[in-house]
Structure 1
Amino acid sequence: MSLGQTHAGADRKWLDKVTTATMRSSAVYEMTSGDIGRTRSFVREFLATGQSMHAWTVSGRATDIAQLVVSELATNVCKYAPGPCLLDVESDGTMLSITMWDSGAVLPSPSPADPARVGQHGLELVLAVCQSFELRREAVGKRVSVQIALQDSVERPPSEEAAR
């Protein structure tokens, strides 16, 4: 039995407050190649903590997407802006916000469509799976912010229906 099923009344109000709590966390990396995996672990652990402490419902697909996105963002930092990087994550249990700051001045942009191109599809993937994407120049460097839904949509896009 879940906590929500065993308690009612005043206790239920407490549970509603707990499950809607916003959680934030940050980490700093030097952005060596080993740090890419550490960013994935950081996001995975953040979501697991939200599930255990705040009873968030996070789909396996959302966890996979969050790890893919942070990995792609971290890879871009390693390739184009080596040096310190700040990773901020925040969620209320519905949407996950990932923000990555680095010292590089060049803003990323998706490459034009080219079926013969090998690699350089990371930003295209990020744009395809995120609910929002924002680039912002800072006094030093840039900030990339994305949002990812933590639950799978009830309505699936036609391409997913056809794939079944």
Structure 2
Amino acid sequence: MESVDGGNGSDARVSSTVMELSGDTSCIAAARRLAADFLSRAGPEQHVAVSDHALGLTQLVVSELVTNARRHAPGPALMELRLADSTVEVTVQDSVPVRPTIHAFDPERIGRHGLEIVAAVADDFYVQLEPTGKRVTAHISLNDTPAPGPRQP
């Protein structure tokens, strides 16, 4: 795992951070902690209010996207968190160039609800295919404005 703060030097204001995701599931908890630490530092440094609700949603989205990357992509993966205006942008890049799908609602299904959850709580959610894999990005409002509803990637 590697975390890199945006900017130069130790006095730089935090506006983004990147984490290399290890091959096991221990990186999921580490990614959640990094998200919480990032928002607790970046919000005040960038003069952006971060609600407790936004912090919780960000950790939830990080958990779901990192879990999917570790479960479905055998190669390297990265997570990037970036402040953009009044949102936090969560991007997870993995090595599988296949667009993930959100499954149709099924109350009997156990598991495979991660992207449904992300689409439901994010203000914006999209997938960008690349020659070396894909980037899954979700934007979460840092205030308590609710997301408009689920979308397809």
If the length of structure 1 is used for normalisation, what is the TM-score?
A: 0.76
Q: CA deviation at 1:120?
A: 1.0
Unaligned runs of 5+ residues in structure 1 are 1-20, 158-164
Larger Rg: 1
What is the letter of the counterpart of residue 132 of structure 2? V
Cα distance in 1 for residues equivalent to 2:17 and 2:67: 20
Percent identical among aligned pairs is 35
- Verify: 1:131 aligned to 2:134, yes or no: no
Normalised by the size of structure 2, how large is the TM-score?
Answer: 0.81
Report the Cα distance in structure 1 between the residues aligned to 2:47 and 2:123, rounded to whole angstroms.
Answer: 22
In structure 1, the residue matched to 2:41 is: 49
In structure 2, what is the equivalent of residue 115 of structure 1? Answer: 107
Across the aligned residues of Structure 1 and Structure 2, the Cα RMSD in angstroms comes to: 2.0
**Number of residue pairs matched?**
136
Match of 1:12 in 2: none
Equivalence for 2:73: 81
Amino acid at match of 2:120: A
Contact 2:97 2:131 in 1 (8 A): no
**Structure 2 matches for 1:3-152, cutoff 5 A?**
23-92=15-84, 94-152=86-144
1:89 Cα deviation (Å)?
Answer: 1.2
Structure 1 stretches of at least 4 aligned residues deviating more than 6 Å after TM superposition: none
In 2, distance between residues paired with 1:92 and 1:75? 24
Deviation (angstroms), 1:75: 0.6
Name the structure where strand makes up a greater proportion of residues. 2
Contact 1:30-1:82 within 8 A present in 2 as well: no
